[in-house]
Amino acid sequence: MRLSLILTALSALSSLSVQAEKELPVIHKEDFSKDASAWKTTDDTKWKLTTVDGNQVYELLGVSRYRPPFRSPHSIALLKDKIVGSFVLTARIQTTQTSRGHRDLCFFFNYQDPAHFYYLHLGEKPDPNSSQIFIVNQAARKNLILTKEGIPWKNGQFHDLKIVRDIETGKIDVYFDDMEKPVKSAVDKTFTWGQVGIGSFDDKGYFDDIVLRGVEIKKGKPEGLHPEK
């Protein structure tokens, strides 16, 4: 069955109201208590399991050696073998980078290959290349919004994150600590399926307690998804 038919069949389930978020099935739950085998990175030497306050987390140690085909983040860990349409992703995150304008952590979604995906840049201070929602579409990253709000990182503290993606409306909503009011929103329907991932452009941080709920596409890899290397 072609991907378009699969997505059409699922479209009735894809519109995400606030009430419907909790009703979406859990696709993957990750606390990194055992390992990180569910994730594929762009540079394994820059990721490790670390204990923080007695709890094991996935740590990004710095910028990866990976160089993407178009200007976009270097350090990426993709959730393997899970292709989703609409989804809700929650996580606990902490930057371990020294304070500076572009210090960030990033989240990737509707990732189809290294030249086709969206990513969220959680930059401390906003500008056209920081603290925005971006698309990479066979060209250097382009922001979908131009927000004037940066991310209020607190040193040594974990923060709560939620991303809500609705492929039917094209809506992308991002929540940071406050789960009632989004800090960033955009609308785009270019990509309606793909993998999700975590990482950074070129900084360091911790990731933990990731929960992915959504509409999973199980009919094999859609055409165009790059093979795992």
**What does the pLDDT look like over 18-57, one tens digit per residue?**
545 667 999 999 999 999 999 999 999 999 999 999 999 9
Output the pLDDT for position 226: 44
Which comes out higher in pLDDT, residue 228 or 95?
Answer: 95
Provide the pLDDT for residue 8.
Answer: 40
- The string of pLDDT tens digits covering residues 29-40 is 999 999 999 999
| Confidence bin at 147 (pLDDT 50/70/90) | confident
Across the beta sheet with 75-79, the strand order is: 39-41, 75-79, 195-200, 106-113, 116-121, 133-137, 142-143
Report pTM: 0.87
pLDDT of residue 229: 34
Q: Which residues contact 205 (CB under 8 A, 6 or more apart)?
A: 59, 60, 93, 94, 95, 96, 97, 105
* pLDDT above 60 for 129: yes
pLDDT in tens, 174-222: 999 999 999 999 999 999 999 999 999 999 999 999 999 998 987 555 4
Nearest to 201 by CA among 89, 98, 107: 107
* Helix ranges (DSSP H) in the chain: 3-10
Mean of pLDDT values over 88-97: 97
Could you give the domains of the chain? 3-216 (2.60.120.200)
